[in-house]
Each structure stands twice: as C-alpha cells, then as structure tokens.
Structure 1
C-alpha cells in the first residue's frame, strides 16, 4: 500500500460512496505520478460498472477529467471480498466516527498490523454473530 486516504461523505449510499472513493484514489494516484494502478473494491457491482465504463451520471464529469490519465497508464480494477481489505474497513469506520477527510492518512499501528497480516499471507475470517 503506497497511500491511504479517507473521505467523509455525510449521509450517502454505499454505491455512490464507493464510486467517489475510487475516483478520489485515481486522482491521488495521478497527483503522485503513478504509472501503474491496481484498484480493489469489495463491491462487485462497482467493479463491473468500471469494467463496462458505465460511470453513473453523478460522477461523469470527474471520470471524463481523469480518463486521459487512465488511458496513459497501466491500470486495472478487480473485486476482492471484504475480508481481504480490513484497512479500508478500518478507515471507513474511523471516517464515519470522526466526520473528517484526509488525503494522506498516516499508517497507524492498527493499519500496519493489518498490512503485516496481509503480507504474511495469513487467512482472514469474518464470523457473523
């Protein structure tokens, strides 16, 4: 993980929040000069929308603005299960609690711990009560 960010959307639905989050990540990658980008989302619907270039009307202006960047780099978007991305879950929960947005979140002890688990290839489980 090279950068992390959190965006407070206020009252919103998860679909539009995930669309805006991906677009924000692409804009940050462009600002950092990344030439390769791999986007993962736990929403298979959102991933499908991006694969088929079915960008929702509310995000079209931003999409059109970053499309030339995406056409100039190597990038892909793929689905991952929620268990595979505990850092995104943690940042989303923190943002909902605090109501704040940050473009460059420092890697807290919790985030570094989750990244170490992922790097070690340990299996993560989610148990429902």
Structure 2
C-alpha cells in the first residue's frame, strides 16, 4: 500500500461512500502518477458496477474525468472480504469518529503491523 486516505461523508449509505472512496483513490493515484493500480473493495456490488462500467449517475462526471488516465495505465478492481481489509475498516471508523478527511494518512504502528501480517498472508483471528 502506497497511499492511504480517509473521507468523512456525514450521514450517507455505504454504497455511496464506497463509490466516492474509489473515485477519490483513483484521483490520488493519478495525482501521484501511478502507472499500476489495484483497487480492492469489500462490496461485491460496487466491484461489479465498475467491472461492467455501470457507473451511477451521481458519479459519472467524475468517472469520465478519469477514463483517459485509466485507459493509459494497468489497473484492476477486485472484491475482498471486510475481514481482509483491516486498514480500510480502521480508516473508515476514524473518519466517522473524528468527522475529518485526510488525503495522506499516517498509519499508526498497529495498522502497519496489520499490513505486514496481510502481506505475509497470515490469517489473524480474534476470538
């Protein structure tokens, strides 16, 4: 993971939040000049929408701004279960708890530890 961000949406639903979060990630990747991009979402519905290019009307204009960039790079979007997405879960909770948005979040030591575990493919179970 090269960048992390959190977005405060206020009162919203998870579908809207996930769509806008993905678009924000694409925007940040473009700004940083990334030539490869792998987007993971715990919403299979949202992933399916992007795979089939069924971008909701409220996000279509933003999506169209990214098409030239996405067509010029190697990118993919895939589904992952929420339990495998600990960092996203942490950042979403922080945004909801603090009411703040940040483009480049410094991750705490406990989250960095979770990334190391994730990269190693170790399954962490909480009982």
TM-score range relative to shorter protein: over 0.9
What SS is found at the alignment partner of 1:60? helix
* Structure 1 stretches lacking a partner, 5+ long: none
TM-score normalized with structure 1 length: 0.95
**Equivalences for 1:1-129 in 2 at 5 Å?**
1-125=1-125
TM-score normalized with structure 2 length: 0.96
The Cα shift of 1:110 comes to: 1.9
Deviations 1:97-120 (A, max 9, x none): 000000000121121111111122
8 Å CA contact 1:84, 1:124 repeated in 2: no
* Structure 2 stretches lacking a partner, 5+ long: none
Across the aligned residues of Structure 1 and Structure 2, the Cα RMSD in angstroms comes to: 1.1
| CA–CA distance in structure 2, aligned partners of residues 75 and 126 of structure 1 | 33
Number of equivalent positions: 127
8 Å CA contact 1:83, 1:125 repeated in 2: no
What SS is found at the alignment partner of 2:53? coil
What SS is found at the alignment partner of 1:40? strand
The Cα shift of 1:58 comes to: 0.5
